[in-house]
Amino acid sequence: MLRNEESSRVEAVHRALVLLKMMAENGSISVTEAAKELDVNPSTAQRLLATLVGDGFARQGVQKRYSPGPEFLRPGMMQPVPPLRLRARPYLERLFERVGETVHLATLVGTEIHHLDGIEATTQPLRFGLRTGVTLPAHVTSAGKAMLADLTPEEVEARYKIAAVGPGRGNAKVDLARIQRELEKTRRLGVGTNYEESEDGVAALAVSLGVIDGEHAAFSIALPSARFTREDAKRLASSLVQTAKEFSEHEISAPAK
């Protein structure tokens, strides 16, 4: 005798699959979000998430949010390659845990950067807020400089020539010679810097992650310039380089499209 779909469904398995789908689509979820989606008590949602963590299908990161774990992301799983934001999130959280300052993941689009993801340092009384979703000129940001420095001077020049004649860019003027000098400095240091260039009162550092799935990407750290010291620069740069190295060791880079 056939049983209807609803009665034959194993509810616990169904709920676990719903949570995996949420993590894949959103990057990370909280216990509250999971409970609301499943229409269960937070304690039930937490037990389900803890089970996924225990089996390696989820991991608990900063601010007690859950993201896909190694078993969910490992090669051989029947799923498309997760988007860059999802793949980079565990490393962005790792960077945040190391430095305790606001961190972002950004990509390079033409001569602008797009902030895809970020984590704000809410424990600091004087802090730099999130810029997730914000687009800025690449040459005035640490992440933009780090990514542009991956290009040859000829490629940089070509990008700015195209941008200068693009829609709405007719009046946009940049000092290309100055940009090239700044990028040469970035190549020597291996770290992009921004000291109140993108906006007043901000100090930021960034490192390039290379090209991931056809996108130039970078991690950045930003904090108020009033709290920024030379010792901070060394410490933050070291954490950026270390985290970027860990990311590159576990991700496959592809040629830019």
pLDDT exceeds cutoff 80 at 196: yes
**Domain edge (last residue) among 24, 46, 73:** 73
Could you tell me if 66 and 99 lie in one domain? no
pLDDT: which is higher, 130 or 3: 130
Q: How confident is the model at residue 257 (pLDDT cuts 50, 70, 90)?
A: very low
**Domain edge (last residue) among 47, 73, 99:** 73
pLDDT in tens, 141-183: 999 999 999 999 999 999 998 887 765 554 457 899 999 999 9
Full residue range of the structural domain in which residue 40 is found: 5-73
pLDDT in tens, 198-242: 889 999 999 999 988 788 999 999 999 988 888 899 999 999 999
- Report the share of the chain in percent with pLDDT over 70: 86
Would you state the pLDDT for residue 253? 42
Radius of gyration, CA atoms only, the chain: 21
DSSP per position, 163-194:
HHTSTT-TT----HHHHHHHHHHHHHHSSEEE
Distance CA 194, CA 119 (A): 19
Could you tell me if 98 and 205 lie in one domain? yes
Paired residues of 212 in beta bridges: 215
Using the structure block, give the residue that is written with the tokens 């993201």: 67
For residue 172, being part of any structural domain is answered with yes
Would you state the pLDDT for residue 113? 95
For residue 145, being part of any structural domain is answered with yes
The token duo for 194 is: 């921004």
Distance CA 167, CA 169 (A): 5
Could you tell me if 99 and 181 lie in one domain? yes
pLDDT in tens, 94-130: 999 999 999 999 999 999 999 999 999 887 777 787 7
Q: How confident is the model at residue 81 (pLDDT cuts 50, 70, 90)?
A: low
Residue 136: φ, ψ to 5°: -135, 155
Q: Which of 1-10, 65-74, 188-197 has the lowest mean pLDDT?
A: 1-10
From the number of C-beta atoms within 10 Å of its C-beta (0-12, 13-18, 19+), residue 123 rates as exposed
**Domain edge (last residue) among 27, 46, 73:** 73
Contact between 96 and 119 under an 8 Å Cβ cutoff? The reply is yes
Would you state the pLDDT for residue 245? 94
